[in-house]
Structure 1
Amino acid sequence: MTTETTEELTISKTDTHETTAQTAKISHDDDKVIDFKKLESELQNAVEGEARYWRENDAKFRAVHQKVASYDEFRDIVLASHLLPLEKDDRLTNIKFIQPWNTQAQKKQDSGNRETTAEIPKAKDWPTSGQGFVREWRRLNKDTKQQYAYLLQIGGEQLGTIFKTEIGFGLLGEFGNCLNCAFAEQDSNAILCILQHLSTTNRFSLTVQFLSSKEKDYFNSLFRKLSESLKGRDPETDVFKDLLTKYEVKL
C-alpha cells in the first residue's frame, strides 16, 4: 500500500469520526428540547380539572344541605354547577331559542300589530300544561294588572298542577315581578297560596338558583310586603317563614 493511499484512509476515518460525533451531539441536544405548548396544555387541563372538582364538590354539599327529594334532582344540581344566572347586562348573540325561556331578553314587538288589551280566559279555558299557560300569558300583552288577575283567578293549587314537572320558560321571575308590582294587601292569602304551591314543583330549588339578581329583588320586595300584611296571623306566619327559606329570601 502506498503512502498516498494510507493518508487517504486516515483522512476518511477522521471525517467519519467527526460526523459521528456531530450526529451524537445533535441527537443529545434534541433530547433536551422542551415542548412548551404541550406543557401549557397539560397545565391548563390540570387547572380546569381542579376547578371542576371543587365546583362540583361544593354543588354536592349544597344539594345535600337543601335536602333534595331525589337523586335525579341531586345530579341535576351537580351537572349545572358550572352555570351562572343571567344578569341584567348580559347579552346573548347568534343564538336562536325555540322556546322563549328568557323572556326578559325578547325584543318588543310593534305595538301597532298587537291588540292593546286581551280578555282573561274563563275557568273552562284554563290551561292544563306549561306551554298552554305560556300562550295565554303572552296573549295578555304584558299587561301586569291582567297577568296579576289571571294568576289569582287560576289560584295556587291549579298553578302547582300546571307546573308540577317544572316551572320553565323563565316564568318564575315574571311571576315575582307581576305579584310584586300589582300587590294588593287584600290578596295576601291568595298570593301566599300561589307561592306555596309553586314551591312544591319539581326542581324548584334549582329554578330559584337560576333567578337573576333583579328577579330575586322582585321576591325580596314581595315578601317584605307580605310580611307587613301577615303580622299577627300565626298560621300564615308559619307558612311564610317556610317560604322564605324555599325562595332564599332574607328580610
Structure 2
Amino acid sequence: MQDGPGSIDRPAKNSKELANAAWDDFKRKAIDEAKKRAVSQRVDYDTFKNMVLTAHLTPITAPNRRTNDRPAPCWNFGPDGKPVKEQAGQMELPSVAPVEAPSTMGDFTRDWRRMGTADDKYRYLHLCGLDTLRMVFRVEISSEVLREILGVVEACWLGHGGAAEEAEGGSGAALREAAFVVQLLQVLSAGGRFPLAVKLLGNSIKPALARLFAGLEDAAAAAASRGAGGVVLAAEEDGTGRLDVDSLTLEQVVTLQRLYGG
C-alpha cells in the first residue's frame, strides 16, 4: 500500500524473511552448542539428545537409594572412630544421579553435591521442576548454591535446548528451554534472602551472567520473530510445571538481568 507519491511499498515477504533469519540463527547456535556439550560429556550426539529428552522423567522402578547405607567394616575406621579417608582429607560423596525430586533444602543440597558434571546438575533442575524449587528455596537460597546454579544453567541451557530442538524436528523446543530458564530465574529470585545472596555472589560469576542474559536476549528476539513469521509456539506440559512461552520476552529478560546484576 502506498501512502503518497514517492512512497515505497515494503513487501511482507521481507519482514517474514528477517523474522525467519533471526530464528534460524538462534536455532543454529543452539544445535552447535548441543554438539559441543555432547563432546564434553564424552558421548555420541544421539545419546546426548536422549539424555536431554528424558531429563524430567522419573524411572518407574527407582533403585533403593539406601543400599550404600549399610555399616562399613571396622577396618575402614581409625582409632578415634572416624573414617580413614576422612582423616586423610579424602572423603568424597559418590556421584549418584537422583531419581526423585527433593522435599527439603537439605535433600537438594545433598543430591546437588553428589552429581559430578554440570549436565547432570542441569538435568536435576528439570527433574526438580519449578514448583519444587520454589518450595525448596522458599526460606533461603544461599549465595554459594545460587552461584553454582547460575554457572550450571549458563553452561548447559542452550546445548540442551539445541539437542531437544533437533530431536523434535524444529518444534520450538530451544525456545521452550529458554522459557524454562527465565521461569527458573524468576523462581530463584523469589527465594528467601535472595537480595543478600546476590550481593554475595562475587565477581567470578559476572562473565557467566553476561553470557547467560545475552543468550536469553537472543532467544527472546527469536521468539518474537517466530511470532512475526506466523509460527505459533505452544506451551509444553512436561511434568515439571507449565512452561509459559509468553514469559520469554525481552522485557522479562532485562528485568531479571537487573535483579541478578548481570
TM-score relative to the length of structure 2: 0.47
Bigger helix share: 1
TM-score relative to the length of structure 1: 0.49
